[in-house]
Structure 1
Amino acid sequence: MNRIIVNSKKAPAPIGPYSQAVMVNDTLYVSGQIALDAESGDLVTNNIEAETEKVMSNIAHILSEAGLDFTNVVKCSIFVADMNNFQLINSIYGKYFLQNPPARETVEVSQLPKSVNVEISCIAVK
């Protein structure tokens, strides 16, 4: 098994004992990303659209570090603090998957790290 840890300086450093992503053979497993700004360390939570955009941007940086992009994503998991934000989150998320979107689930949870409103993880294949 070929296992490589993938970290992008453009995405926020992990806030716990995990890696931003792990490449195993040709599959990249991206840890859940929140709207944490890598440079300032600030959370982007002024509105759900901006928060979701920052999450997707963080994922993009990690994918890029592995030589991939959103066309390589085959599965996403979206965790939301309030399912009433689903349509707004979906409108931003959908901009990244214009054709052949990946498989996905969206679940409401009671709380997310740092009390954010949305966290997204994904799996991508070379």
Structure 2
Amino acid sequence: MKYAISAADVPDALGRYSQGTTAGRLIFSAGQVGRDAEDPDVLVDGGPVAECERICDIFEKLLEEVDCSLTDVAAITVYLTDLDYADAVDAVLGRRFGTPGPARTVVEVSALPMAARIEMDFVACR
């Protein structure tokens, strides 16, 4: 059975979708951009590294709702508007997710919601 995840400290979805869902032991996040915690109508300042940090914070909040943590993340998809951001984002993800890190796919895209530089989603397992 599938259940929606709705975390109080996570910005509302930009469309008609859940912040995340669970299906059995699996947890799925919606794609997240680095929306500011105080004003979710804007992105955090600081470029792709700050956006990546904020997305990881959002992931932590979603995972806390289902009694999990970043260590339970099995796979991440990273969407970048410029692959030149990949090394900086890799450093953040390596620090935030530890070893062994989740499987990762990185895709360069032409544009993201809110003119973000990075968007990510995850699949985790309890």
Mapping for residues 55-94 of structure 1, pairs under 5 Å: 55-94=55-94
Q: Which residue of 1 aligns with 2:97?
A: 97
Q: Which residue of 2 aligns with 1:24?
A: 23
**Which digits, 9 at most, give the CA deviation of each residue in 1:26-68, with x for residues without a partner?**
1001111110124322311432211110111111111111111
Overall identity of the aligned pairs, in %: 26
Contact 2:71 2:98 in 1 (8 A): no
Please state how far the C-alpha of 1:121 moved relative to its aligned partner. Answer: 0.2
Which consecutive aligned stretches of 4+ in structure 1 deviate over 3 angstroms post-superposition? Answer: none
Tell me the C-alpha RMSD between the 2 structures.
1.1
Deviates more, 1:36-45 or 1:70-79: 36-45
Contact 1:78 1:119 in 2 (8 A): yes
Q: Which residue of 1 aligns with 2:32?
A: 33
Q: Which residue of 2 aligns with 1:49?
A: 49
Give the length in aligned residue pairs: 125
CA distance in 1, matches of 2:82, 2:124: 26
CA distance in 2, matches of 1:4, 1:104: 25
Q: TM-score, normalised by structure 1?
A: 0.94
5+ unaligned residues in a row in structure 1: which ranges?
none
Q: Could you say what secondary structure the match of 1:32 adopts?
A: coil
Q: TM-score, normalised by structure 2?
A: 0.94
